[in-house]
Amino acid sequence: MSNKKSDRRSFLMNASSAVGAAIFAAPAIFASEGRPKDERGRSVGPNDEIRTAILGIRNQGRNHINYHQATPNIRIATLCDPDERLFAERVKLVADGKPKTETDLCRVLDDKNIDCIAVTMPNYWHALATVWACQAGKDVYVEKPATYCIAEGRRMIAARDKYNRIVQSGTQMRANPAHQEAAKLLREGLLGPIYMVRAIYFDQRLSIGRQPDGAVPDGVHYDLWMGPSAKQTFNPNRFHYNWHWFWETGNGEIGNNGPHLADLVIHGLDRQDTLPVKISSQGGRFVWDDQGQTPNTLAASYTYADGLLLEMEIRNLPTNREDRVAEAAFFHGPKGYMMIEGERGRYESVVDKKPGPSGKAPGAHAELVRNFYDAVRSRKTSDLLSPVEHGHIGAALCHLANISYRLGRTLEFEPKTETFPHDDAANAMLTRTYRAPYVMPELNDI
């Protein structure tokens, strides 16, 4: 590790110091001649180019290349990934000029020519990369789940606020017009007061089997890839994508696709600033005999302070579908019910035993990215469709289910403090141990 990288990580981990604050604090945005300016004084008008780096270019990161360059006046200036074997093919996907390539995100954060970053790295990197980027004066689009653990959410929000950044959470269904219309109808009382919501994600997967530990492949910077997670011997089953199914790096299927369901729920109910008071979760890793740790079947039940019942269920084994869908949220009220389907962007309702309003719209990944850049130009967090605080609440619902499952019991939760009263074992699972030097600052040290 070079001295430059080591020094930067040390600064970021100690950003509460006077020197760190002087270097990384982003001055307040100010207006001049009717247009906002960024912290370097560069004009950010509707026709000015914004330079973006994508951190993590496999799978969803590959898709983000297309999402971002679909927005006018956006230049993908840098592609960053600790697996440099991906660079040759991904560079070809960038339509406007040849981007730089980096294996270390700290070099990207050091680059004063980068305005924004898209965080499409594994879950355990999401919050830390966002906080570091805010400290370095970058705006952030962070993929779901916004966090790997509940305590990270408030740190992301604190960093966003302190350094005057724009931070969008990548729950793209927010940008779907049909979903927006459905949420508006629910909030206006189409069904009356909602008493129960059931959300499902059924996606059949295969067992990952078992593979022996082995040598790190050439071109993979494994220490950078592991980041804040505990150091482990390289194993192909704990690497690309399958990291989702190990507790040290992933949050299972409920942390993988559950945030989309949770976002449909909190958006439709307008409960984007609070969490339930009781959580009970059961399930298991059934049928498969493999190295994976997280459940392939999980049913979670949540009770809110006013009695609202939320049920979320994920399943990766052969299963039925409910009401012809496998990814949806069902809202129940005294007048009827509404089904909001996920990625397919459809909703239907039954009101007073008759067909009610319905609608459908295509997917909205690129639209949420465009909304992010609109807010980057306006410098107004209020312009965001999916601000990071909403991403935090949606992700936290999924983490609560995992904590209950792993402890094997029902949990009482205090939404105001986001802690478990008098429950040391559960409170210990609100955060994680970060491997130095990839350490998340404490809330007061942001």
Q: Is-cis flag, bond preceding 437, omega within 30?
A: yes
Same domain assignment for residues 319 and 410: yes
Q: How many CB atoms lie within 10 A of CB 95?
A: 11
pLDDT at 363: 81
In angstroms, what CA-CA distances link 210 with 236, 237, 414?
A: 9, 7, 40
Q: Where are the alpha helices (H) located in 75-118, listed in sequence order? A: 87-91, 105-110
Same domain assignment for residues 192 and 151: no
pTM: 0.91
The confidence band for 324, taking pLDDT boundaries of 50, 70 and 90, is: confident
The residue-averaged pLDDT of 90-105 equals 93
pLDDT at 44: 60
H-helix or E-strand spanning residue 394: helix 388-407
DSSP secondary structure, 235-290, as one string: -GGGSTTGGGGSTTT--HHHHHTHHHHHHHHHHHHT--S---SEEEEEEE--S--S
The residue-averaged pLDDT of 369-385 equals 97
Same domain assignment for residues 146 and 187: no
Q: Are the C-beta atoms of 54 and 83 separated by less than 8 Å? A: no
pLDDT at 162: 97
Which range has the worst mean pLDDT, 18-32, 88-102, 192-206, 307-321?
Answer: 18-32
Q: What is the 3-state secondary structure (H, E, C) of 141-190?
A: EEECCCCCCCHHHHHHHHHHHHCCCCEEEECHHHHCHHHHHHHHHHHCCC
Q: How many CB atoms lie within 10 A of CB 5?
A: 16
Question: Do strands 297-303 and 336-341 pair parallel, antiparallel, or not at all (unpaired)?
Answer: unpaired
Please state the length of the chain. Answer: 446
The confidence band for 322, taking pLDDT boundaries of 50, 70 and 90, is: confident
54 Cβ contact list (under 8 Å, min separation 6): 61, 64, 65, 68, 76, 78, 79, 80, 117, 118, 120
Same domain assignment for residues 336 and 350: yes
Question: Do strands 139-143 and 278-284 pair parallel, antiparallel, or not at all (unpaired)?
Answer: unpaired
Percentage of the chain lying above the pLDDT 70 cut? 89
Which range has the worst mean pLDDT, 100-109, 319-328, 340-349, 402-411?
Answer: 319-328
Which domain covers residue 91, as residue numbers?
3-174+367-387+436-445
- Exposed (0-12), middle (13-18) or buried (19+): which is 84, by Cβ within 10 Å? middle
Express each pLDDT in 23-32 by its tens digit: 233 332 222 2
pLDDT at 46: 66
280 Cβ contact list (under 8 Å, min separation 6): 300, 301, 404, 409, 410, 411
Which range has the worst mean pLDDT, 80-84, 177-181, 338-342, 361-365?
Answer: 361-365
Same domain assignment for residues 382 and 403: no
Mean pLDDT for all residues in the chain: 91
Q: Residue 120 pLDDT more than 70?
A: yes
Same domain assignment for residues 163 and 47: yes
Buried residues in 203-224 as b, exposed as e (16+ CB within 10 A): eeeeebeeeeeeeeeeebebeb
In 10-166 the beta strands, taken as DSSP E runs, fall at 30-32, 35-37, 50-55, 74-80, 100-102, 116-119, 139-143
Express each pLDDT in 391-424 by its tens digit: 999 999 999 999 999 999 999 999 999 999 999 9
Q: Residue 282 pLDDT more than 70?
A: yes
Same domain assignment for residues 221 and 236: yes
Same domain assignment for residues 308 and 351: yes
Q: Residue 16 pLDDT more than 80?
A: no
pLDDT at 45: 64
Express each pLDDT in 254-267 by its tens digit: 999 999 999 999 99
Domain count across the chain:
2
The residue-averaged pLDDT of 190-212 equals 97
Q: What is the CATH number of the domain that holds 212?
A: 3.30.360.10
Express each pLDDT in 327-337 by its tens digit: 999 999 999 99
Question: Do strands 359-360 and 346-351 pair parallel, antiparallel, or not at all (unpaired)?
Answer: antiparallel
Token look-up 């592991």 returns: 226
Q: What is the CATH number of the domain that holds 64?
A: 3.40.50.720
Express each pLDDT in 35-59 by its tens digit: 334 444 454 666 789 999 999 999 8
Express each pLDDT in 228-240 by its tens digit: 999 999 999 999 9
Which amino acid makes up residue 219? G
Which range has the worst mean pLDDT, 43-52, 196-205, 378-387?
Answer: 43-52
pLDDT at 55: 98
Same domain assignment for residues 266 and 160: no
4 Cβ contact list (under 8 Å, min separation 6): 110
Same domain assignment for residues 371 and 357: no
Q: Residue 19 pLDDT more than 80?
A: no
Q: How far is the C-alpha of 307 from the C-alpha of 305, rounded, in Å?
A: 6
pLDDT at 18: 31
371 forms bridges with which residues in the sheet?
A: none
SS3 at position 224: helix
Q: Which long-range contacts (CB under 8 A, 24 or more apart) does 126-131 make?
A: 126/152, 127/152, 127/153, 127/155, 127/156, 127/440, 128/152, 128/227, 128/228, 128/434, 128/438, 128/440, 129/55, 129/105, 130/156, 130/159, 130/167, 130/388, 131/155, 131/156, 131/159, 131/440, 131/441, 131/446
Same domain assignment for residues 68 and 196: no
Token look-up 């350094």 returns: 163
Same domain assignment for residues 217 and 199: yes
Q: Is-cis flag, bond preceding 145, omega within 30?
A: yes
